[in-house]
A and B are shown apart, each in its own frame.
Chain A
Amino acid sequence: MTYKGSSPQELARQLALTRRDFLRTTAGVALGSALLPSQLFGHSAVPEKKRKVVVITFGGGARDQETFAPEGQENIPHLIKDLIPQSTFFTQVVNRGILGHYVATASLATGVYETVNNFASIPPEYPTLFEYFRRDLKRPASDAWVVAPSNGFNRIGESSHRSYGPGLGAQVILPKHLLSAATRDSADYAHLLRDNYETPLYAPALGGSEFELQQLGAMLKLSVEDFKSHALTLSSADELSVYIAKRLMRQLSPSLLWITMHDIDIAHAGAFSLYIDGIRRTDRLCLEMWNAIQSDPEYAGNTTMFILPDFGRDSDEDAGGNGFQHHRTGDALSRTTWMMAMGAGVREGVVYDRPLGSTDLVPTIGGILGFNASLAQGKPIAELL
């Protein structure tokens, strides 16, 4: 598939229209109108205190050719057949920030295009949604959690902002770090301990309030031995993340849960088959999370789930890149992604193609849960509120 246009905006629009047409014909969704946020589907049916939000970042970076384009649909059967019909789908979410996974995820979590060093262990500069959520709604630390792929994400839970910051953020679990500590890097678990693919040889030293091994038993009611033996049944780091996320839901039922997937980013190593494997696995894990929500009485009926990539990858047409391998050119395709929302307060089977910004997520979640993301640059998405 090639996109011809004279400007990045035109390319992004063409991409969005292609996604919309595909969804209308294949997934049977209806074209929504921005002027029709129906109160029938609003969040008012669920008391504010009971509302929960789960965010999954479909990372790190997948292109339309391998997902929503005709030739890519076989890689995301669960998104297409199971999840999109139940969701409101936004075809054009544009990331205008830095296309590095940590900094882009930080931007998603703050609603501001962050400029922190992608490869350093430093917190976001602006308050995260976790801080707004906990401070405005006076929620305890156990009510906001992040499950993230590698050491590089360990500071994502709270910012360095002077009015928020330490003690007000989410608790961060790095399942790979836990497993590494539990197994002392045993070869049996090596497949789950894959590294940061952007800088494979370096991971920033840990710092911040990440979850420690001894808390496994105290908070998740999971012995180190059970954790290790279950880990042996899994095939990837993201599977480990979902396992831990489900455990968190069962034991602590946090109202705000953020899971960052990362297997797809193996694409940096240039092996197309491994990149495709990552997309297929992430597709399956998204459904697994949705099913976990539906089968848990603490979550079913009162949870809104968001799935969105942090960004895409370079197009085949840009001679400055090397196709799927990286996300370095900053071209329109690598910046233009999508988002689906489903669950409480969300209309099912609707597609919108008006452009949104990546930074719109935080104020939207603020609108759902009842906090004020006062420093976020994005705007609440009316269609979801």
Chain B
Amino acid sequence: MLPSDLKSESFKSYAPEARKLAVENLTALRQLPLSFLPGMLREVIEYDYKFPAERRSLDKEIANLRSLSHEQLQQWFQSFAQIKLSQNLERFDWVNSPAQFVEQLSSHLWTTHQLDTFRTAAIDYADKLRVAVPPDPPPPIGRLGIAVVGQDVSEYNEALFRKLRPHGAYFTKIKPENGLPQLLETVASRAKTHPIPYAHWYIDGGQEAAHDPGLTTVSYNALEPTRSALLDRMRSEVARPGNGPENLRTFMAQVRPADLGVKSGDAVLDRFRVKLLTEGSGTQIFSTSFTQWAARESLRRAQPLTLLVRFAPRQRQKPMNEMLFAKAEQVELDPVGSLVDGDMGAYYNWINQQRLPGEEQSSFLVWFEGHNIAVAISPTLPRGTHSETPADMRELLTMMA
């Protein structure tokens, strides 16, 4: 099937809002090349479960396509149209399984040495879109990212935060008492002042601390029953004769919150939480990988105004099968390795935050939990400096505001 063959009925299995979006824009969708369209449908099919920021972004992208004439569309997608696809890809049910199609397309691009052409086409499209679609207005307040690392590490003598220090002020006389509650207070205060859905997040790699119920929360420990249920299903899939990596990926892509007994009353957040485990790599076994990936995905998808991420000790490395299928009581922890993971994870949180609109006004804080060192990055603080000013977390956040 080719995009030009699309009809309204093609989208009958889509959720209501996704179906409406696709049908209303059918004329534009039918003119897009097959090397591009399933990538867009992968987003459209999830429309009912998307965060507001994602919906806005997709709405604008599709509105732009609709505004282009046939000739303009041909010009915009000329490079994509030149990519040669196989008959297998053309026969694939890309309308109903766009994510699986994209995975097969990726494999096809690698093996036919067309990946660079595709990358160039994708970058060119993104550049054109950036020019054509007005950027989001800056957020109502500067974004604030916070990373807390090193839980349960009593002593560590290696240098920390080396990648972040050049971008902010390195504090070495932080007063650690009540640090986490003070940080959570600030997050809650921002949520009360700017009560925007999914705009204020708290992600914990272990047991979440007491926090304001108005925050959007994800924690590794709270997801333990979900993780166990998923691993049980993975084990069954792996044991099935003839199954391989592709089948497992397809299975994982099709897992829905209800399959794992997840029902919090917030379908968008339930879907997000389950996807962290089904789409992330290593998120099923290492809490630090889970935490970094959860932060990345929340920033990419929900574009929060406030994000507090606390890394907790992950399990010590063992053979993969053993880690995947270990019982909770058998887990041995690696706090120091997790500190190193968290240090890099914090750097990635900052990079991902800086990709969002309003980056000049954004602030970021990373703190070695229970200790006296932190890096604060903010328009109000000089870059690449060292401060011995004693400050608790509340005072430090005031300096950053």
Contact = CB atoms under 8 A, between A and B. Distances in A.
Interface of A: 8, 71, 96-100, 113, 115, 119, 190-191, 193-195, 197, 199-202, 266, 268-274, 276, 316-317, 319, 322-326, 328-331
A201 B324 contact: yes
Interface in B295-348: 296, 314, 317-322, 324, 334, 336-341, 343-345, 347-348
A99 B115 CA distance: 11
A274 B337 contact: yes
Contacts of A272: 340-341, 343-345
A271 B282 contact: yes
A273 B338 contact: yes
A191 B116 contact: no
B355 interface: yes
Most B C-beta atoms less than 10 A away, residue of A268, A269, A325, A331:
A269
Nearest to B344: A272
B79 to A, nearest CB: 15
Contact of A195 (B110, B248, B289, B321): B321
A24 B84 CA distance: 45
Contact of A202 (B245, B314, B334, B339): B245
A32 to B, nearest CB: 29
Given A113-B113, A201-B321, A201-B324, A270 B238 contact: no
A119 B111 CA distance: 13
A191 B318 contact: yes
B149 to A, nearest CB: 11
Contact of A270 (B110, B288, B347): B288
B263 interface: no
B130 interface: no
A272 to B, nearest CB: 4
Given A98-B111, A195-B321, A272-B344, 13 more contacts: A97-B113, A115-B110, A115-B112, A119-B244, A119-B245, A194-B319, A200-B321, A269-B281, A270-B286, A270-B293, A271-B286, A271-B337, A271-B341
A269 B111 CA distance: 25
14 contacts: A115-B112, A194-B319, A195-B321, A200-B321, A270-B282, A271-B314, A271-B337, A272-B343, A273-B340, A274-B317, A322-B348, A325-B281, A325-B282, A326-B281
A269 B289 contact: yes
A323 B347 CA distance: 11
B116 A201 contact: no
A271 B317 contact: yes
Nearest to B248: A201
A201 B340 contact: no
Interface of B: 106, 110-113, 115-116, 119, 162-163, 234, 238, 244-245, 248, 280-283, 285-286, 288-289, 292-293, 296, 314, 317-322, 324, 334, 336-341, 343-345, 347-348, 351, 355
Nearest to A199: B245
A273 B320 contact: no
A195 B238 contact: no
Contacts of B343: 272
Given A119-B245, A330-B119, A271 B324 contact: no
Given A119-B244, A193-B319, A274-B337, A268 B344 contact: no
Contacts of A323: 344, 348, 351
B84 to A, nearest CB: 14
A73 to B, nearest CB: 13
Contacts of A330: 110, 115-116, 119
Given A119-B245, A269-B281, A201 B337 contact: no
A202 B248 contact: yes
B266 to A, nearest CB: 26
B322 A190 contact: yes
A328 B118 CA distance: 13
Contacts of B340: 272-273, 276
Nearest to B351: A316
B324 A200 contact: yes
A251 B87 CA distance: 52
Contacts of A331: 119
A328 B286 CA distance: 21
B107 to A, nearest CB: 9
Contacts of B234: 201
Nearest to A189: B319
Most B C-beta atoms less than 10 A away, residue of A97, A190, A195, A270:
A270
Nearest to B315: A271
Contacts of B345: 272
A59 to B, nearest CB: 17
A24 B341 CA distance: 32
Nearest to A8: B116
B62 to A, nearest CB: 21
Nearest to B339: A273
A272 B336 CA distance: 12
B292 A270 contact: yes
A385 B235 CA distance: 53
B101 to A, nearest CB: 17
Most B C-beta atoms less than 10 A away, residue of A96, A191, A329, A330:
A330
B55 to A, nearest CB: 20
A269 B244 contact: no
A316 B283 CA distance: 19
A115 B107 CA distance: 10
A97 B339 CA distance: 36
B351 A194 contact: no
Contacts of B289: 269-271, 325
A16 to B, nearest CB: 19
Given A271-B286, A272-B341, A197 B293 contact: no
B338 A191 contact: no
A286 B25 CA distance: 58
A330 B347 CA distance: 22
B191 to A, nearest CB: 27
B248 A270 contact: no
B281 A316 contact: no
B290 to A, nearest CB: 8
